Structure 1
Amino acid sequence: MPPQHITSRQNARVKEAAKLRLARQRQQQGRFVIDGSRELLRAISSGIEIVEAFISESRCRDAETQQAAEAVSNSPAAVATVTEEVFEKLCFGERTGGVLAIARTPVRTLAALKLPATPLVAIIEGVEKPGNVGAILRSADGAGVDAVVIADPRTDLFNPNAIRASLGTIFDPNVCTATSAETQAWLRGLQIPAFAARPDATQLYTDVDYRGGAAIVLGSEAEGLTDAWSGDAVTAIGLPMRGIADSLNVSATAVVLFYEAQRQRGFPPGH
């Protein structure tokens, strides 16, 4: 059956999809938007369920976008071709690709994370900016971090800006959300030591041992980590700051810590 062709911005499917710009609508509908070809292909390969897709044929010029269009066309998703005007209503920001998909929000839990014997885990508590969440996830993927937990999130995990900044690495099954209390209990149960990045830490990040399994904990841009991560079970670590600023951006800090931990661990195969 050929896909539906939509020419009106007032089409019911288009109006419902456009609502997903808002976090409350993503929560209510249990769906979110994927508006990049690379991100969409990574979502599909990670098992994300695509329920609907809109294709602007005039924008499907490059091989990656054509591949994404073919992938959704061959899936069970309800696919529609749309005019340029309709596609502009649906897409977020300056995007040149011609495929936008609506996906069902997956349920990702701590219990479902699959870890090796001595894992390297990233914990991100209360980070407000979706772009920073995405950048940290991209860095974690690049460094070979085994799992990422977004603790007490202040933005929904599948915010379009987080998806974009992560380049689709956000769809890895070993990424989930939880409360800080749940995360701490999970770490205790697995006997994974926690190393919390704090501007006031007296111990340098290079002076601790990440080789036997470790959780690197990072806090929000404005407030840092809450007191929940300052107990005896948590080691505070810091980066030396040689200028007038007292800290780096959280995503920059994440890169330094992830790669130092993996340097000590000899880097996993393939990284």
Structure 2
Amino acid sequence: MKQITSIHNSYIKELQKLQEKSKERKKKKLFLIEGKREISLAIKANYDFETILFVEEIITKKEVLDLFNGKTNSIIISKEVYQKLAYRGSTEGIIAVVKAKDFSLQNIKFQTKNPLILIAESIEKPGNIGALLRTADAANLDAVFIANPKSDLYNANIIRSSIGCVFTNQIAIGTSEEIITFLQEKEISIYAATLQNSNEYYKENYIKPTAIVVGTEATGLSDIWREKATQNINIPMQGEIDSMNVSVSAAIILFEAKRQREFKI
């Protein structure tokens, strides 16, 4: 089995670029996953793995082979090399080089005739995207659409903050216009979370095919969502401020939709 011990190795330098630069990830159509849990979720999601790099003093060769059922191209690396590539402070000793998936709307396949979808428009902070993906996984949504993305979904911070839920959700990326057209063609009702011309979220019915749309905490949703929505909705604020973290807001509305569906209200 090949070994790499130098941080100056040309292949390691290439992987550093993948870790740090979205442009490089898009060009190579590759990205890095760090940690056993996240790698396991990507395996379950049928991602294609190019190479596994691991520190033998931290994770054994047998553990790596067991993780991949013996089918893996593996490289043993030194702790110094691992630390050069790792994003997190914790040390699990394993990093995977993985082929990116196509997040086109055309690839979306609903397993039910009554989908519940989360749409996030122009969310900038990777941590918020990660939290939204965790919420979507917790609610077992049919899909998550990212409209007008500001961050690369394979950003290491998104993978970390989503605790791997970037791999557990069915995801599509597109412009707001493309996503709205998709929803209209599928006859999916649009509920836009916004203060303007809105109704309290719990007064609406989400039993039929539904998309919940959230935007940034600073500027909210763009006009097109407010104009094309089946209904604009809000979460009544009872304190001094007029907004909450976007992932918290999404969770409140989504779990109301799940409650209604469970009890067929």
User: Which TM bucket (shorter chain)?
Assistant: over 0.9
Amino acid at match of 2:33: I
Asked if the contact 2:192/2:229 (under 8 Å) is kept, the reply is: no
Q: How far apart, CA to CA, are the structure 2 residues paired with 1:81 and 1:73?
A: 18
Write the mapping of 1:1-271 to structure 2, written as runs, cut at 5 A. Answer: 3-20=1-18, 21-60=20-59, 67=63, 70-72=66-68, 74-76=70-72, 78-115=73-110, 116-172=112-168, 174-266=170-262
Asked if the contact 1:128/1:221 (under 8 Å) is kept, the reply is: no
Asked if the contact 2:53/2:94 (under 8 Å) is kept, the reply is: yes
Shift of 1:172: 3.3
Asked if the contact 1:194/1:234 (under 8 Å) is kept, the reply is: yes
Q: Deviations over 1:28-49 (max 9, x none)?
A: 2111110121011100110111
| SS of the residue 2:145 aligns to | strand
Instruction: Note closer, same or farther for the CA distance 1:73–1:207 as it changes in structure 2 (3 Å cut).
Output: same
Instruction: Note closer, same or farther for the CA distance 1:267–1:258 as it changes in structure 2 (3 Å cut).
Output: farther
Q: Deviations over 1:67-122 (max 9, x none)?
A: 5563247234x311111111100100312211101111111222221211111011
Q: How far apart, CA to CA, are the structure 2 residues paired with 1:91 and 1:151?
A: 29
Structure 2: gaps of 5 or more residues: none
Aligned sequence identity (%): 35
| SS of the residue 1:266 aligns to | helix
* TM-score, with structure 2 as normaliser: 0.93
Asked if the contact 1:108/1:173 (under 8 Å) is kept, the reply is: no
Structure 1: gaps of 5 or more residues: none
Greater than 4 Å deviation, 4+ residue runs:
65-69
Q: How far apart, CA to CA, are the structure 1 residues paired with 2:57 and 2:222?
A: 49
Asked if the contact 1:55/1:69 (under 8 Å) is kept, the reply is: no
Asked if the contact 1:205/1:239 (under 8 Å) is kept, the reply is: yes
Amino acid at match of 2:143: A
Amino acid at match of 2:119: I
Q: How far apart, CA to CA, are the structure 1 residues paired with 2:14 and 2:181?
A: 39
Amino acid at match of 1:194: I
Q: How far apart, CA to CA, are the structure 2 residues paired with 1:267 and 1:104?
A: 41
| SS of the residue 1:156 aligns to | coil
Q: Deviations over 1:191-229 (max 9, x none)?
A: 001001113453111000000111000112322111110
Instruction: Note closer, same or farther for the CA distance 1:201–1:140 as it changes in structure 2 (3 Å cut).
Output: farther
* TM-score, with structure 1 as normaliser: 0.91
